[in-house]
């Protein structure tokens, strides 16, 4: 399996992401934001977390115009899988590849901790290795993770099985750390080949570091 990890100025999770997918047996290439195409054998494109362009305008808003996004959009449009993690999720919403937007956390503070998530839909490549309503423990680290979508869009998400994950406690009860609509932690597009989430599965690959639940999340792409 060939994975491309996109790197912008300010990205800080590219090497964590590289490690995670290599641990699962993938060939991984980190691609700088000035590139305009990927190799033809690319299976998955990951837009990694961090602070692209320092989040100076709005999270993901500048990165959306980087040359590499031409290749990301082209890969998605031909049915290739794309995963946006944290800042990558923000970039994909700014680019119009995913619905909704990410706002400042409700408490206006940066949040960095492990948090539980419940699988809302596993009828997709990304979460195929997890069961419906499974609860996983995955780190979050964001200042602008408050997912917003209007009421019409929210209904459409549920109608099309696009809501992937909810923030919960360890028992699967809603526990919303940032004010996201319906405590939504991740969504996908209608075609179910573009995925985005604020939590960091690439940081949950070793039990000695509090959780290896990220393995089950990312393994879905290897099916």
Among all residues, which ones are annotated catalytic? 86, 200, 202
Task: Order the strands of the 27-32 sheet from edge to edge.
Answer: 27-32, 2-7, 44-47, 81-85, 194-197, 184-188, 163-168, 111-119, 135-142
The encoded tokens of residue 184 equal 């939504």
């Amino acid at each position: 399996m060939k994975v491309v990890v996109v790197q912008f100025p300010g990205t800080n999770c590219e090497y964590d992401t590289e490690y995670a997918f290599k641990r699962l047996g993938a060939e991984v290439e980190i691609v700088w934001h000035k590139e305009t195409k990927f190799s033809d054998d690319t299976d998955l494109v990951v837009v990694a977390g961090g602070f692209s362009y320092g989040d100076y305008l709005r999270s993901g808003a500048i990165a959306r115009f980087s040359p590499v996004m031409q290749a990301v959009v082209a890969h998605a449009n031909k049915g290739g899988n794309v995963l946006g993690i944290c800042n990558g999720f923000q970039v994909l919403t700014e680019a119009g590849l995913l619905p909704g937007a990410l706002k400042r956390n409700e408490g206006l503070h940066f949040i960095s901790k492990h948090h539980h998530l419940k699988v809302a839909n596993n009828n997709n490549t990304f979460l195929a290795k997890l069961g419906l309503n499974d609860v996983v423990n995955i780190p979050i680290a964001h200042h602008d993770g408050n997912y917003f979508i209007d009421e019409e869009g929210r209904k459409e998400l549920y109608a099309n099985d696009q809501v992937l994950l909810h923030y919960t406690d360890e028992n699967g009860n809603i526990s919303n750390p940032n004010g996201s609509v319906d405590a939504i932690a991740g969504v996908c597009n209608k075609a179910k080949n573009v995925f985005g989430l604020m939590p960091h599965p690439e940081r949950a690959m070793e039990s000695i570091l509090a959780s290896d639940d990220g393995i089950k999340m990312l393994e879905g792409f290897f099916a």
